[in-house]
Amino acid sequence: MRRKLVVGNWKMNGSRAVNGALLSGITAGLDDATGATGATLAVCVPAPYLAQCQAALSGGPVGWGAQDVSAHAGGAYTGEVAAAMLADFACAYVIVGHSERRAYHAESNELVAQKAVAVLAAGMTPIVCVGETLAEREAGQTFAVVAAQLDAVLARLDDTDVARLVLAYEPVWAIGTGKTATPAMAQEVHARLREQLRQNNAAAAATVHILYGGSMKADNAKQLMAEQDIDGGLIGGAALTAADFLAIVHAAN
Ligand code: PEP
């Protein structure tokens, strides 16, 4: 049985003051006797706030991580952040291949795969995002698109590293739009992804978490996470208020 994993993706939101209130709201809600959770929790935050998260969350039930990473180990790459730097702030997770990075920064499947390798080499867990656009879904290309996105990553990893991945199925048309894949639609893709993993590495397929992301909210989280291959959520908008995030955390119990 895979323990549920709920990860907030703050995207490019926040400030020291706003983050402080959000983090204390989350931790206070979890401290509450009714807030006990059987899920693993984390927030992926803008890089400048990693130190703030480390200070606020160390020793507690909520892990932290980043939203992107350089594929390079270091050197003359102005503006980029190396995986070792993220590890220096005790990040547990790094999101790679988010659709906003793929769309606005032209990240290819191959670059995303290189980033996943960099994260693993630095001892952290990559959360590899895959997902189809609306046009791709309507053209019947959903499975082919996500399979190619996952294949590029699998091609670069040995069996041990495949077992260390987290995947997130995030249909692009559902991100930030209020449109959610139905549990059955999401499960269908998750099951395909797990089968693809199984063909690569049967042992890892049983343990790798596959999160759903795309307008997951308190009122749809429970049904989505009840599906056999949906092991948690990657949460954007609803991760920006403590009450909404906690409601999803509780739905994961
Ligand atoms: C995301 O950005 O990863 C995401 C799932 O966003 P939202 O929950 O706002 O759709």
DSSP state of 125: E
Please state at what angle helix 109-121 crosses helix 142-154, rounded to 10 degrees: 40
Task: Give the span between the Cα atoms of 94 and 101, in whole angstroms.
Answer: 13
For residue 204, CA distances in Å to 2, 22, 149, 209 come to 12, 34, 18, 10
Q: Measure the CA–CA gap between 240 and 118, rounded to whole angstroms.
A: 28
Q: How many angstroms does the Cα of residue 210 sit away from the middle of ligand 1?
A: 15
Segment-wise mean pLDDT, segments of 10 residues, the chain, 253 residues: 95 98 96 70 98 97 97 98 98 98 98 98 98 96 98 96 97 92 97 97 96 96 97 98 96 90
Which of 215, 245, 248 maximizes ligand 1 atoms within 8 Å of its Cβ, making it the mutation to test the pocket?
215
The reply, when asked if residue 237 is annotated as ligand binding, is yes
100, 107, 132, 170: the catalytic one is: 170
Q: How many angstroms separate the CA atoms of 18 and 167, rounded?
A: 29
Instruction: Count CA atoms within 13 Å of residue 110 on its CB side.
Output: 0
Residue-level pLDDT at 253 = 84
* Cα 186 to Cα 198: distance, rounded to the nearest angstrom: 18
Ramachandran category for residue 215: left, alpha or beta (phi over 0 → left; psi -120 to 50 → alpha): left
Which residues sit with their C-beta closer than 6 Å to ligand 1?
Answer: 9, 11, 170, 175-176, 213-216, 234-238
Domains of the chain (ranges; CATH) run 5-251 (3.20.20.70)
Q: What is the distance in A from the centroid of ligand 1 to the CA of 97?
A: 13
DSSP 8-state secondary structure symbol assigned to residue 6: E
pTM of the predicted structure, to 2 decimals = 0.97
Quick one: pLDDT at residue 35? 55
190 counts as catalytic: no
Q: Is 110 considered catalytic here? A: no
Residue 215 annotated in ligand binding = yes
